[in-house]
Chains A and B, each alone.
Chain A
Amino acid sequence: MSQSGAEPVMPERHYLNAERGLWSWLTTHDHKRIGLMFLGLLLLMFLLGGVYALALRIELLTPGETIMSRLAYNRSFTLHGVVMVWLFLIPSIPSAFGNFLLPLMIGAKDVAFPRLNLASLYLYVLGAAITLWGILQGGADTGWTFYTPYSTATGTAVLPVLLGVFVVGFSTILTGVNFITTVHTMRAPGVTWTKIPLFVWAIYGTSIIQVLATPVLGMVLVLVMLERLGGLGFFDPARGGDPLLYQHLFWFYSHPAVYIMILPGMGVISEAVCAFTRKNPFSYRVLVVSTVGIAFVGFLTWGHHMFVSGASTLGAGAFSVLSMLVAIFTALKIFTWLGTMYRGSIWITTPFVYVLGFIFLLFFGGMSGVAVAVTSADIHWHDTYFVVAHFHFIMVGASLMAFLGALHYWFPKMFGRRYPEALGIGTAVLIIFGFIATFLPQFLLGNMGMPRRYADYPERFQPLHVASTAGASLLGFGFLIIAIYLIWSLRHGRVAGRNPWESRGYEWTSESPPPKSNFHEPPSFPYPPHDYARPDVAPEVGRAA
């Protein structure tokens, strides 16, 4: 599909073969290799979380006990949530694609603190290992939210899971510190604040949330651990404590964490929309302002998780209104993407199909989010499958689609090879329909009164549960196909050449895969990112001084 005429060739030396041997990978300071290792680990965690998800859906195929006991079910949904949220979604796009792309996109050789970057990887490995060890000890049955007083009283292996999440939190903090500093201090000549690529803006906003919110989570996890070990009493009414305090501290982190999961995805979409419609963003400024706006307002909405936990009417009303502000910023983004597509020269590729899936599903996820932000309606939907469907539309429907879109869009950048495009498009369509089949029935189930986290249900709910399980099987099948063709493409894919998408993104100006130093010459970028307005002018990389 490359329009350059001659058959593209693989660069002889690049970051993958610059040094050889396992040791060169384990001790590397190269952000590209660290990003790649993150990607591999994250995909393993995604596989683990996905296996738990399928096990849950099989259990829910029939009322009563299907394949596992009630306790096993409680442990499974907890570990599905813990693995997917803490070990996959939160680090997913920032740690894998952010690491790989952020320096390339601002014309830097590496991140500001390469050794800290490697430390972040090892902290992630350590945290994940502790969590997995906890799973082998039987795992927790508290749900991924670890609500007190249940989490301080249950006899399951909560401690190692808490400790694992605590350690992974430090990995997130280090990555955030690194990225913010990199964006501030490492930009190449020409990359001024108004010419930073939109993906970098999204990672920057995400990093600010990571840095400011994660320490609070770390401390509250320590408090829960101490409560289990020494009976602190902070969250125990019998000792004068207040369990609601836990919910406030937990959601002060965990609601912004939702934006840690979605903002990088929005950055991916902003990049891909411009690349595959051959148009400048409808408004760069709106996309940047809404990114920063979501990062900011995200800190002021946590109370909407406590509408039925005894929050005051005034507080609930305030949090309800503040939560709806997020929808305004999100809508600004959606309209800007649609405005970008309007009269564009649309090129249907796998990443673009994921873009379409993202926008469609984010719309439903976002609108149902406004619905549950209404306090009166939330009383009906709270803790039902309606909420489960809502956040899966955001976390899977949007975040995961963006992750897959990013994986396909930058696969040629990372490995210098193409994947089979037709198969990719077909699988993307399959996954989007599989997703809708899985989670649309859950909206209906929730509205009918099916509570979340229950292994059993009345028989009249069964048809919708069967539909949901069928959709989940489609999803699982789709992921299997992606895994097969991407692994095949690593060795046998067509050579991509430098810029197979003819993208104007800065990262594509270096070779694919990039050399170890990212650019052969220190680059400077005289043209803005996403500059598709002058197709006759080939974007050239200037040389810095």
Chain B
Amino acid sequence: MQPEASARPVVPHAEHFGDEASRQNAAHLGMWIFLATEVLLFAALFAPYALYRLAYPELFHQAREHMDLTLGTINTYVLVSSSVLVALAVASIRKGRELVASALLVGAVVLGITFLCIKGMEYAHHAKDKALPGAHYAFHQFAVPGASLYFTLYWIMTGVHAVHVTVGVGVLSVLCGQTLSGKFSAAYHTPLELGGMYWHLVDIVWLFLWPLLYLS
């Protein structure tokens, strides 16, 4: 052995899944990387939005005025509140309060479903106006090339987001059941933290969609 080697500090992760701390470390890092891929996924939708908003500024403005700002804003509050509940749930499981954590998760799931219901109501309004995506667009109040692209972007961006909300509601429901059955404790609750991270990302994406599609 070379002498300088023994002086080197030992890297802490010797064994495969040797201890809970390194397992948690790996799980968190993996989740952060996965969230980065999600950001890039939505980036591929924000790019067309930027391009066509620059190409058709007037029509995008008019179409945006047609959106139901009240429902959109309520939905924003609903989603942010559910994120707060998830954050509180993680904080309480860290203190070992399983019942409080599962009650908070139930609240978050209910708010998530509320979000999807309100979104569905909005979709129904648009469908009645025939402001449908792509070739099905027949909302004659606005000129076709620009406004149809706005509504197509609206459907796709909120649709992909709604798919993520649905997945998130499913994940939170499973985690809620596991919390109730006593799987998590103050010592071990990594899946709950990971699920929370995912839910916050879904929330953050909406915080970009809301101003782009409803405000300004």
B40 with A245: CB separation less than 8 A = no
By a CB distance below 8 angstroms, the chain B residues around A522 are: 14-15
By a CB distance below 8 angstroms, the chain A residues around B16 are: 108-110, 186
Q: How many residues of B contact A (CB 8 A)?
A: 45
A212 with B47: CB separation less than 8 A = no
A526 with B47: CB separation less than 8 A = no
**Given A215-B38, A544-B14, A112-B26 contact (CB < 8 Å):** yes
Contact code string A208-223 (vs B, CB < 8 Å = 1, else 0): 0001111110111001
B148 with A233: CB separation less than 8 A = yes
Task: Please measure, in the bound complex, the distance between the C-alpha atom of A218 and the C-alpha atom of B160, giving whole angstroms.
Answer: 12
Task: Please measure, in the bound complex, the distance between the C-alpha atom of A373 and the C-alpha atom of B136, giving whole angstroms.
Answer: 42
CB distance from A176 to the nearest CB of B (A): 8
B134 with A227: CB separation less than 8 A = yes
Which of A178, A245, A544 contacts B51, CB < 8 Å? Answer: A245
Contact code string A148-191 (vs B, CB < 8 Å = 1, else 0): 00000000000000000000000001001110111011111111
**Given A108-B16, A220-B44, A239-B149 contact (CB < 8 Å):** yes
Q: Size range of the interface on A?
A: 35 or more
Contact code string A236-248 (vs B, CB < 8 Å = 1, else 0): 0001111001001
The 10 closest A-B pairs by CB, nearest first: A240-B145, A231-B135, A526-B5, A109-B16, A219-B44, A215-B41, A215-B40, A232-B134, A230-B134, A544-B14
**Given A220-B44, A232-B152, A181-B2 contact (CB < 8 Å):** no
Which of B30, B55, B149 contacts A181, CB < 8 Å? Answer: B30
B10 with A545: CB separation less than 8 A = yes
**Given A180-B33, A189-B14, A216-B43 contact (CB < 8 Å):** yes
**Given A192-B8, A240-B146, A213-B14 contact (CB < 8 Å):** no
The answer, yes or no, to whether A540 is at the interface (CB within 8 Å) is yes
**Given A181-B33, A186-B16, A232-B156, A540-B134 contact (CB < 8 Å):** no
By a CB distance below 8 angstroms, the chain A residues around B174 are: none
7 extra interface residue pairs, beta carbon distance < 8 Å, beyond A109-B15, A239-B149: A176-B33, A181-B29, A218-B44, A239-B134, A249-B47, A522-B14, A544-B15
| Residue among B11, B55, B135 facing the most chain A CB atoms (10 A cut-off) | B11
Closest to A186 in B: B13
The answer, yes or no, to whether A524 is at the interface (CB within 8 Å) is yes
B14 with A232: CB separation less than 8 A = no
By a CB distance below 8 angstroms, the chain B residues around A242 are: 51, 55
By a CB distance below 8 angstroms, the chain A residues around B148 are: 233, 239-240
Contact code string B133-160 (vs A, CB < 8 Å = 1, else 0): 1111000000011101100100010001
CB distance from B172 to the nearest CB of A (A): 21
The 26 sampled A-B contact pairs (Cβ below 8 Å) are: A112-B26, A112-B30, A177-B33, A177-B37, A178-B30, A185-B13, A185-B22, A189-B10, A189-B14, A190-B10, A191-B11, A192-B8, A192-B11, A213-B40, A214-B37, A215-B44, A219-B41, A230-B133, A233-B135, A239-B134, A239-B145, A239-B149, A240-B149, A245-B51, A540-B1, A544-B15
Contact code string B2-26 (vs A, CB < 8 Å = 1, else 0): 1001101011011110000010011
B14 with A527: CB separation less than 8 A = no
B11 with A190: CB separation less than 8 A = yes
By a CB distance below 8 angstroms, the chain A residues around B36 are: 211-212
Task: Please measure, in the bound complex, the distance between the C-alpha atom of A223 and the C-alpha atom of B149, giving whole angstroms.
Answer: 13
Task: Please measure, in the bound complex, the distance between the C-alpha atom of A444 and the C-alpha atom of B186, giving whole angstroms.
Answer: 69
By a CB distance below 8 angstroms, the chain B residues around A216 are: 40-41, 43-44
CB distance from B147 to the nearest CB of A (A): 9
Task: List residues of A whose CB falls within 8 A of some B CB.
Answer: 108-110, 112-113, 116, 173, 176-178, 180-182, 184-192, 211-216, 218-220, 223, 226-227, 230-234, 239-242, 245, 248-249, 522, 524, 526-527, 540, 542, 544-545
The answer, yes or no, to whether B48 is at the interface (CB within 8 Å) is yes
Task: Please measure, in the bound complex, the distance between the C-alpha atom of A184 and the C-alpha atom of B30, giving whole angstroms.
Answer: 10
By a CB distance below 8 angstroms, the chain A residues around B149 are: 233-234, 239-241
B5 with A190: CB separation less than 8 A = yes
A226 with B156: CB separation less than 8 A = yes
Task: Please measure, in the bound complex, the distance between the C-alpha atom of A527 and the C-alpha atom of B3, giving whole angstroms.
Answer: 10
By a CB distance below 8 angstroms, the chain B residues around A113 are: 26, 30
Closest to B147 in A: A240
By a CB distance below 8 angstroms, the chain A residues around B10 are: 189-190, 524, 544-545
The answer, yes or no, to whether B45 is at the interface (CB within 8 Å) is yes
Closest to A214 in B: B37
Which of A112, A232, A240 contacts B133, CB < 8 Å? Answer: A232
The answer, yes or no, to whether B56 is at the interface (CB within 8 Å) is yes
Closest to B42 in A: A219
The answer, yes or no, to whether B34 is at the interface (CB within 8 Å) is yes
**Given A184-B29, A188-B11, A231-B135, A245-B37 contact (CB < 8 Å):** no
A212 with B40: CB separation less than 8 A = yes
A542 with B43: CB separation less than 8 A = no
By a CB distance below 8 angstroms, the chain B residues around A540 are: 1
By a CB distance below 8 angstroms, the chain B residues around A544 are: 10, 14-15
By a CB distance below 8 angstroms, the chain B residues around A220 are: 44
Q: Which of B40-67 contact A (CB under 8 A)?
A: 40-45, 47-48, 51-52, 55-56
| Residue among B8, B15, B44 facing the most chain A CB atoms (10 A cut-off) | B44
Closest to A235 in B: B48
By a CB distance below 8 angstroms, the chain A residues around B15 are: 109, 522, 544
By a CB distance below 8 angstroms, the chain A residues around B22 are: 185
B26 with A185: CB separation less than 8 A = yes
